[in-house]
Structure 1
Amino acid sequence: MPDARTPLDGVDTVLADLDGVVYRGRHAIDHAVESLTDVARTRRVGYITNNASRTAETVAGQLAGYGLEAAADDVVTSPQAAVRLLVDAVPAGSTVLVVGGEGLTSVLEAEGFVVTRSADDAPAAVVQGFSPDVGWAQLAEASFALHTGIPWIATNTDWTIPQERGVAPGNGTLVSAVHTAVGRLPVTAGKPETPIFTAAVERFGATKAAFIGDRLDTDIVGANAAGLVSILVLTGIDGAKQVLAADAKSRPDFIVGDLRELDQPYPETVEHDEEDVHVVTVREASVAVRGHVVRVLSDGNDPVDLLRAGAKAVWGTNKAIYGLDVDPKLHADG
């Protein structure tokens, strides 16, 4: 008899990442729009993005272009989370040096802060976010300002950002350049830190929220830390290799192949021991663990089931993956 539990059981608010979950580049990901439209019939749906280069209005317009019912208030951005930290760090109306684009400057100016691009204007803080136009000159100004010891807030520290042509350096690489110059780290507002999740939960009045992401190091770590149901979808950055290697903080509550599985019964994981072998089974997929050796017994009919079984088996060893002999079949993505 199928397990009746679904990833969204008891959830009243569904929060979704954008890049790698809803779209990649200019194109919607298969089944994402239809699935989120179905979810929105019975639950509140909101969107969370670490990308600081665009405004919430621009993001909402893109989502609406795919056919989703989305307004600016449905989008929570890392600049919005950053400004929550900024108001607690410096006086209202302060001058703030900004590294980033309109998605960041528009939020700060709406909150009454004065935006500058020069360390010579004696800024009270530095706020740094991604923009494809950021270069050495802007990073240098931030470094000059930060040597005075003022607060430094980063919208996010994602190492990469998915693009149509592939994976590109993200804001984390730019933050790292400034960190190297000034010898200290910023306070971070976006995923995986909790301010952006807290802002979303408060805005949407959620009592039990689920977050859907495609990255373990930002999406799943952040959702887990914020006490949300964490759902990894395998349509973006992370796949089988990253899932198997996940540490305790980055292990999702659910793994789905695409968003059609959100409201489908989630397969039960069954475990049993046969002498010195521990066997983990998900539907027709089965994985065995003997000591440090992890082997596939049955591929099953669904590669996601095999990954679910393999992840449970590897995680249950309580050993780092590099200390295990893992069946190559488990590393294959989809």
Structure 2
Amino acid sequence: MMGETTTDSLGTEPLSTLYRGLICDLDGVVYRGATAVPDAVETLNQVTADGLPVVFATNNASRSPKNVGEHLHRLGVAPQGWSVVTSSQAAAAHLSERLERGAPVCAVGGPGVAQALTEAGLTPVRVAELDDTGVEAVVQGLGVDVTWAELAAVGYLVHGGAAWVATNLDLMLPTAHGPAPGNGALVAAVQTATSATPHVVGKPRAALFDLARTRLGTDQSDTLVCGDRLDTDIEGANSAGLDSLFVLSGASRLRDLAFAPPSARPTYVATDLTGLLAPGLPLHTTVPDQLVELTPEAVLRMRVDGDNSKLLQSVVATVWAALDDGRAVPDDEDMWARIERQLELDRASSSSVVAR
């Protein structure tokens, strides 16, 4: 589905030159908390300077695009050539197409939820401001100060007939102190009490990608998604009909990628964002060769003198081909850790990935 790919350019032109727009995840791809992922900022500045527009798309509904942008500026991302969209904005866009302008909508979550509703021409109403006039819908997003009373109010409103939109269903929020409940866990609490089902707009649903692509003004075939999570970024890209670059600088590891179901398999793989500057060779065109061998005894062997990027592609393509043929593939964690060390992937990852 590559926008400008030809037979001659396949695998020779830099990946960033094959598309007219990039939708990029943030935490684990561009930064890890307050720290930039090595080479990510420099790569982004180069591709935007070369004319590739970027939209950063995040499931984090609590922060406003301005707040995210200020974070990127502090890290050194150039001021031009990019914008930010959040799942709160996707929720607001969904409702703005269905409600009258100025319609009251209950906003539960961080400040990004109410701001997105205002920008979309709707009237955000906090739980403490609810009165007998009611609201037509409720948007539930993550916020560190969300209370039991607010969750109960969501349930009451949904039970009373209000449309319920959830920004995302991420069950877990990685933090510097360890895993914490994500918005999906809070949504699940309301679902348990009401048996209702919300309309979801965040990754891996297509709505956030569609909104980002609208910002870019690109067709599906001209748009590339970059992310570090298979279950949100890559599966979402596939659901939106977009090509994707999976990077191993964040949450998911090589073993996860090797055993990913077809719905969560990316078009490309790279150690980190510098993969945008490398030749774009789709994984489905990578023919397993002498670099990697899966023996009849299900032992994965790699040449020690191969180029690491090509070895990485060959490992993934070899394993996928074997799995699709019904062959056995080793699932030993220690073996996959050794492969990561051989490919120097352990340098790209970190255990300190925090709120997305």
TM-score, normalised via structure 1 length: 0.86
String of CA shifts for 1:243-272, please: whole Å, max 9, x gaps.
12211111011111011221112568654x
1:86 aligned residue = 95
Q: 1:313 aligns with which of 318, 328, 336?
A: 318
Distance 1:51 1:72 in 2: 22
Q: Secondary structure at the match of 1:74?
A: strand
Q: Secondary structure at the match of 1:172?
A: helix
Q: 1:21 aligns with which of 23, 26, 29?
A: 29
* CA gap 1:289/1:225 in 2 versus in 1, 3 angstroms: farther
Offset, 1:317: 3.4
Within 5 Å, which residues of 2 pair with 1:232-311? Answer: 232-266=246-280, 271=287, 280-281=288-289, 285-288=291-294, 290=296, 293=298, 295-298=300-303, 301=306, 305-311=310-316
* CA gap 1:313/1:68 in 2 versus in 1, 3 angstroms: same
Number of equivalenced pairs: 322
User: Would the aligned equivalents of 1:14 and 1:46 in 2 still touch at CA under 8 Å?
Assistant: yes
Q: Secondary structure at the match of 1:232?
A: strand
Q: Which runs of 5+ in 1 are unaligned?
A: 272-279
2:348 aligned residue = none
2:350 aligned residue = none
Moved more, 153-162 or 54-63: 153-162
Q: Secondary structure at the match of 2:292?
A: strand
Q: 1:218 aligns with which of 220, 228, 232?
A: 232
RMSD after superposition: 2.8
**Does residue 148 of the first structure (1) align with residue 148 of the second (2)?**
no
Within 5 Å, which residues of 2 pair with 1:50-199? Answer: 50-70=59-79, 74-110=83-119, 111-117=121-127, 121=132, 122-199=134-211
Q: Secondary structure at the match of 2:73?
A: helix
Letter of the aligned partner of 2:180 in structure 1?
A
Q: Which runs of 5+ in 2 are unaligned?
A: 1-9, 346-356
Distance 1:65 1:87 in 2: 33
Distance 1:9 1:114 in 2: 41
Letter of the aligned partner of 1:21 in structure 2?
V
1:276 aligned residue = none
Distance 1:71 1:133 in 2: 33
Offset, 1:233: 0.9
User: Would the aligned equivalents of 2:224 and 2:242 in 1 still touch at CA under 8 Å?
Assistant: yes
Distance 2:241 2:57 in 1: 16
* CA gap 1:317/1:325 in 2 versus in 1, 3 angstroms: same
Distance 1:232 1:183 in 2: 35
TM-score, normalised via structure 2 length: 0.81
Distance 1:73 1:144 in 2: 40
Offset, 1:144: 1.6
**Does residue 35 of the first structure (1) align with residue 49 of the second (2)?**
no
Q: Secondary structure at the match of 1:192?
A: coil
Moved more, 178-187 or 164-173: 164-173
Offset, 1:25: 1.1
Offset, 1:239: 0.7
Offset, 1:323: 6.9
% identity of equivalent residues: 36
Letter of the aligned partner of 1:296 in structure 2?
R
